[in-house]
A = this chain, B = another copy of it.
Amino acid sequence: MQDALRQFKADFFQALAHPTRIAIVEQLREGELSAGTIIERLGIEQANASQHLAILRAKNILVNRKAGNQVFYSVRDRRIIEILDIMRQYFHAHMSEVLATLRAIDKAGKVRR
């Protein structure tokens, strides 16, 4: 029983364990957007976006609504936004690590100065 609950929680975290999926959820903070708008705003491949959206749908983090040609996505439960908000505080509190990550990315990208 505990095991099932933990598996459920782990699946939830796994669903958000990718920068693109976090970016998608953040885009949907103010309300629904079409798949096309999300793709355009994030500047990612269509297939890739669609795969990430499928994962977020499968874990019930997003819901979708079809309207003619398009599919509109939104966050199912406001608590998910709430969790991301707490994490923002958390990140500010540990900004030095965020900056370390930043530097690591910078280095990996071979941006010399």
Chain A residues at the B interface, C-beta cutoff of 8 Å: 1-14, 16-19, 21-23, 26, 60, 77, 79-80, 82-84, 86-87, 89-91, 93-94, 97-98, 101-102, 105
Q: Given A60-B94, A93-B79, A97-B60 in contact, is the A87-B7 Cβ separation under 8 Å?
A: no
Q: Given A1-B102, A102-B1 in contact, is the A87-B12 Cβ separation under 8 Å?
A: yes
Copies in the complex: 2
Q: Which of A6, A13, A83, A102 has the most CB of B within 10 A?
A: A13
B17 touches A17 (CB 8 A): yes
Please name the residue on chain B nearest to A10 by beta carbon.
Answer: B19
Chain B nearest CB from A3 CB (Å) reads: 7
Chain B nearest CB from A109 CB (Å) reads: 10
Chain B nearest CB from A45 CB (Å) reads: 16
B10 touches A105 (CB 8 A): no
Please name the residue on chain B nearest to A98 by beta carbon.
Answer: B8
List, in ascending order, chain B residues with CB within 8 A of A91's CB: 5, 8-9
B14 touches A13 (CB 8 A): yes
A66→B69 CA distance, assembly (Å): 60
